[in-house]
Amino acid sequence: MNINEVQRMVDKDGIIFLSYGGFLSQALISSMTEALEKEAEYNDISMSDSNNIFTVFIELSQNMMNYSKAANVNDASFRPQGLILVSKSVEGNYNIHSQNIISLQDKEKIEPKLLEVQSLDREGIKARYRELRKSGQHTHGKGGGIGFYEIAKRCDLLEYEFNQINEDKFYFYLKITINIDKKETK
């Protein structure tokens, strides 16, 4: 591996940080959140936009952490690893990307939620979020719960892909965009 290639990629794509191949732990997530706080402070990002970035980052990384904890430990292909990456576009908007391996069964649980949040406008997402929070169902297990609705409430664009690895396994890629309003005076 040539570290300069990684450096070029980091510079070219505005990557702020990434974590791959290791265990995502709560300690690591909170340290990365702290690094994001510094990043937001350094770039003078409004509190509203910053909190949206932190919340989305936490939601995605804790999702991956919880998913890997719940995965079948006897199945080496579900190693507790994932890729989480925060990058900044030339326009100064933030992207949070996550990718991990999930089963077909979980894909079938997640996909309807993602389709739903994509089909709703902001008010619709907020209404659905409150409805689901109230009903209290599906909030504890893996597979998102109200997490995807929390993310959708806080971002400008949610994109996802499932890429099949074999009969039962998929790469689940999620890309979240948070636009930073430079003229924000709030």
Partner 1 sequence: MENLKLEATKYTPEISLESSGVISMVGKSYPENTFEFYSPIIEWVEAYFDGSAADTTVVNMEILYFNSSSSKLFFDFFDLLEEASANHTIEINWIYDEENESALEAGQDFIEDFEALKINLVKK
> How far apart are CB 83 and partner 1 at their closest, in Å?
20
Q: Which two tokens stand for residue 117?
A: 């949040």
* 147: Cα within 13 Å, side-chain hemisphere: 21
- DSSP-assigned letter for residue 154: H
Cα 6 to Cα 1, 14, 113, 150, distances in angstroms: 9, 12, 34, 32
Residue number with CB closer to partner 1 (40 or 102): 40
> How far apart are CB 70 and partner 1 at their closest, in Å?
12
> How far apart are CB 29 and partner 1 at their closest, in Å?
8
Residue number with CB closer to partner 1 (30 or 163): 30
Task: Kindly provide the b/e burial profile for residues 139-152, where b requires at least 16 CB atoms within 10 angstroms of the residue's own CB.
Answer: eeebbbbbbbbbbb
Beta-carbon contacts of 56 under 8 Å, excluding residues fewer than 6 positions away, are 96, 151, 154, 155, 176, 178
> How far apart are CB 146 and partner 1 at their closest, in Å?
5
* Residue numbers at the binding site for partner 1 (CB under 8 A): 26, 29-31, 33-34, 46-48, 51-52, 54-55, 58-59, 62, 65, 126, 130, 133-134, 136, 139-140, 145-147, 149-150, 154, 186
Are 114 and 106 within 8 A, CB to CB?
no
> How far apart are CB 51 and partner 1 at their closest, in Å?
4
Residue number with CB closer to partner 1 (140 or 183): 140
Residue number with CB closer to partner 1 (97 or 154): 154
Tokens 């933030």 belong to which residue? Answer: 94
Residue number with CB closer to partner 1 (133 or 175): 133
**Per-state percent for the chain, helix, strand, coil, to nearest 5:** 50, 20, 30
